[in-house]
Amino acid sequence: MRNNDWSRILGWRGYRVYRSEIDEQAKTLKLWVRRKGGEFFCCGCGRTVSEIAEVYEREVRDLPCFDYRTTVAVELYRLRCPDCGVKTEKVPQLPSKAPFSKRFEDAVGEACESAAARRVAKQFGLAASTVRSIDLRYLERWAANRRKPVLTQMGVDEIHLGKKQKFITVVSNLDSAEPAWFGRERKKETLDEFFQGELTARQRMRITAACVDMWEPYRLSLEQWAPNCRIVYDKFHVMQHANQAVDEVRRAEFFRKGGAIRGLVKGKRWLLLSRWMNLSSPKRQELTELFAMNRKIFKAYLLKESLDRLWTYRYEGAMVNYLHRWIEQLRWQRLKPFQKLAEMLVRHLDGILNYCRTKVPLGIVEAINGNIKSLLRRGRGYQNLRYLLLKAQRMAATRTEFVAFRKAA
Ligand SMILES: [Zn+2]
């Protein structure tokens, strides 16, 4: 094949192939390319530079050609930039110092969107750690080229990463439905760091609402840094506490009673934490049997289910009334975890009622939380929080793109 044809097949803009080598045994193809001419750009500052200091060659892996793994040897120039000194020229096909072309990295990054790094590594014949660094660069390039969404309504959440890394704090943007920032631990200082490092004073003033858990350190930080922000103790976070209360009752009953009831309570955790309306009839039957045996668990479940209805009210007075009636039901029940929950709700009543005063989208915090957890379940290498954040943002963005596409179609 002529070099001209190789140049066309390769399709590197501004470059032509001057030599090729095919190894049939090894199934490899190697192409040597050099520039057709044109201007040189400094990779440091981007300006045009005419003085050349040195010519050298670099090899990168490109997309395969049929069955052949393809390597491109590129002739490159080191330039003498008046501002930066001796620097390599900027070449769009070579986005980093790693031995891969841009479109090869894009292909790996795209594959990582629907499969775990280990599987992509197998597919491309790379180490999993290499795939993760390619994916990270791919995501960084994507993030650099998009407009950062404005933050007016935020969610603050905590996610448990495991015994070693413990908690991270997740700040999310409720308007764009994506995570905005991750920080280690869940202290006041953690959230302070976000407000100080990520936002200008003006941007902090623009925040009007925050959906958070009833967790003092977060409240203190929000009050200090976002003076126009209304704290909303939203349904998702309150119901998490209600679920915990049900679970405490379940465990207490499990240990208190012996024999038959133990067998019945065992393995019912998930069922008890599910909403009744989401359960199939056999599952409902299982729960009904359990409730017939144990009144306390039954009561706890009903209390949790009825608390959920609090957010059907959009008027403060109605919400307060409903909550009072709910607390009334606790009397004589001797359900300690629920009494504690009731006290907590009363202490945070103002923030709960803010739901009526500020319109915040429900379910977003929960969805973002779920996405991050599914990423953590599926993959490794997320000790790097930046990687986890970009991954979760990309996930949110492609999902919305997908939805928008379906709407258009
Ligand atoms: Zn320069």
- Buried b / exposed e across 136-165, counting CB within 10 Å, b at 16+? bbbbeeeeeeeeeeebebbbbbbbebeeee
Q: What is the pLDDT along the chain (409 residues), one digit of tens a residue?
A: 899 999 999 999 999 999 999 999 999 999 999 999 889 999 999 999 999 999 999 999 999 999 999 999 999 999 999 999 999 999 999 999 999 999 999 999 999 988 889 999 999 999 999 999 999 999 999 999 998 889 999 999 999 887 777 899 999 999 999 999 999 999 999 999 999 999 999 999 999 999 999 999 999 999 999 999 999 999 989 999 999 999 999 888 877 776 666 776 777 788 888 888 888 999 898 888 888 888 888 899 999 999 999 999 989 999 999 999 999 988 888 899 999 999 999 999 999 999 999 888 878 888 888 888 888 887 777 888 999 999 999 988 887 444 444 444 4
What is the CA(50)–ligand 1 centre distance, in A? Answer: 11
- Tell how far the Cα of 255 is from the centroid of ligand 1, in angstroms: 71
Burial of 237 (0-12, 13-18, 19+ CB in 10 A): buried
Q: Answer for the pair 72, 45: CB distance below 8 angstroms, yes or no.
A: no
Ligand 1 center–CA 88 separation, angstroms: 9
What pLDDT is recorded for position 406? 42
Cα(94) to ligand 1 centroid in Å equals 17
Q: Is 118 exposed, middle or buried (0-12, 13-18, 19+ CB in 10 A)?
A: middle
**What is residue 401's predicted lDDT score, i.e. its pLDDT?**
46
Q: What is the pLDDT of residue 261?
A: 66
Q: Cα–chain-centroid distance for residue 276?
A: 29
The alpha carbon of 226 and the centre of ligand 1 are apart by a number of angstroms equal to: 40
Q: Where does residue 38 fall: left (phi above 0), alpha (psi -120 to 50 degrees), or beta otherwise?
A: left
Backbone φ and ψ of 231, nearest 5°: -85, 125
- Ligand 1 being an ion, which residues bring their Cβ within 5 A of it? 42, 44-45, 81, 83-84
Å from CA of 54 to ligand 1 middle? 15
- Predicted local confidence at residue 125, as pLDDT: 95
Check: CB of residue 72 under 8 Å from CB of residue 62: yes
Q: Determine the distance separating the centroid of ligand 1 and the alpha carbon of 104, expressed in angstroms.
A: 27
| φ and ψ at residue 254, rounded to 5 degrees | -60, -40
DSSP string across 237-305: HHHHHHHHHHHHHHHHHHHHS-THHHHHHTT-HHHHHS-GGGS-HHHHHHHHHHHHH-HHHHHHHHHHH
What pLDDT, on a 0 to 100 scale, did the predictor assign at position 403? 42
Residue whose C-alpha is closest to residue 389's, from 192, 179, 214: 179
Q: How far is the CA of 219 from the centre of ligand 1 (A)?
A: 47
What is the CA(38)–ligand 1 centre distance, in A?
17
What's the gap in Å between 45 CA and the centre of ligand 1? 4
pLDDT at 404: 40
Distance CA 72, CA 70 (A): 7
What residues have CB less than 8 Å from 337, skipping those under 6 apart? Answer: 244, 245, 246, 248, 249, 300
> 143 C-alpha to center of ligand 1: Å?
24
CA of 135 to the centre of ligand 1 (A): 28
Q: Can you tell me the distance from the alpha carbon of 243 to that of 198, in angstroms, rounded to the nearest whole number?
A: 34
d(C-alpha 210, C-alpha 192), whole Å: 14
Backbone angles phi, psi at 139, to 5 degrees: -70, -35
Q: How far does the centroid of ligand 1 lie from the alpha carbon of residue 81, in Å?
A: 5
Q: How far apart are CA 393 and CA 142, in angstroms?
A: 10
Give me ligand 1 centre to Cα 35, in Å: 20
Q: How far is the C-alpha of 291 from the C-alpha of 276, rounded, in Å?
A: 13
Q: How far, in Å, is the centroid of ligand 1 from the Cα of 361? A: 47
Identity of the amino acid at 371? N
How many CB atoms sit inside 10 A of residue 185's CB? 15
Ligand 1: centre distance to CA 213 (Å):
49
What tokens appear for 140 in the block? Answer: 């960084």
Q: d(Cα 270, Cα 247) in Å, to the nearest integer?
A: 9
Q: How does strand 209-211 pair with strand 230-232?
A: parallel
Chain-centroid distance of CA 317 in Å reads: 37
Model confidence, pTM: 0.83
Return the closest-CA partner of residue 325 out of 347, 301, 342.
342
CA 48 / ligand 1 centre spacing (Å): 8
Contacts of 143 (CB under 8 A, 6+ apart): 390, 393
Sheet holding 167-173, edge to edge: 178-184, 167-173, 153-160, 209-211, 230-232
CA of 90 from ligand 1 middle (Å) equals 10
